[in-house]
Amino acid sequence: MRRYRVWPFFLMGALLPAIVFGADSRKAGIVKGVIVVSGRPTADAIVSVEGLPGDYLKAQTAGAKPKKAVIDQRDVKFIPRVLPVIVGTTVDFPNNDKSWHNVFSASEAKKFDLGLYAPGKTRSVTLDKAGVVRILCNVHPNMEAFVVVKEHPFFSATDKRGNYQIGGIPPGKYRLEVWHPDLGVKPVSFNMAREGEVLAIDLDLKKK
């Protein structure tokens, strides 16, 4: 396993857990690592692999069924705060709080307003365009979430320890992109040199 440690002055661009449809695990490579902010693990980063061949992406997503995802409303918070999905995913917004909520977005990738609804109710929206969708509640201004909508499934959200892993990557030169709601996009080039390689790339988004 090769390991990279890359600091921001080497970075160039934004990044993805991969949902891979039909990749040959014996040949496909894996990129994984830990994302930290000033040395502390972050659970709010989305890591993706960009630049994969178009025909490979089509083969991996052919016949894939529409996806479903959930952002909960509980304790006057959206949970999770950051969610990666593929284009065409329907996101449910159940109200599991004690108060009424309103879910809306004015983002270019998706403008919508689900209206005001009571505890115990759920409303949904289908995200049909790639981009970042900032989610808000007009009843509670402190509530905020982000849905990062990708055109391919090669992405991952970091866990509470900052870990990410993306599989199904064929040999080639690509770009790893890390997106963070407070720090924007940080990219780094990498080379998957051979079939079945496991490549470790750790990033500190604010390393001096």
Least reliable range by pLDDT among 5-14, 21-30, 70-79, 86-95 = 5-14
In 3D space, the residue among 25, 82, 47 whose CA is nearest the CA of residue 153 turns out to be 47
188-206 pLDDT, tens digit per residue, is: 999 999 999 999 999 999 8
pTM of the model: 0.85
Q: Topology of domain 2-63+154-204, per CATH?
A: Immunoglobulin-like (2.60.40)
Instruction: Tell me the domain boundaries of the chain.
Output: 2-63+154-204, 68-150
CB-CB contact of 29 with 195 (8 Å):
yes
In CATH terms, 68-150 corresponds, of 3.30.1490.20, 2.60.40.420, 2.60.120.10, 3.40.50.720, to 2.60.40.420
92-145 pLDDT, tens digit per residue, is: 999 999 999 999 999 999 999 999 999 999 999 999 999 999 999 999 999 999
Angle in degrees, CA 157, 131, 96, rounded to 5: 60
38-48 pLDDT, tens digit per residue, is: 999 999 999 99
- Length of the chain in terms of residues written: 208
Burial class (CB in 10 A: 0-12, 13-18, 19+), 4: middle
Same CATH topology for 2-63+154-204 and 68-150? yes
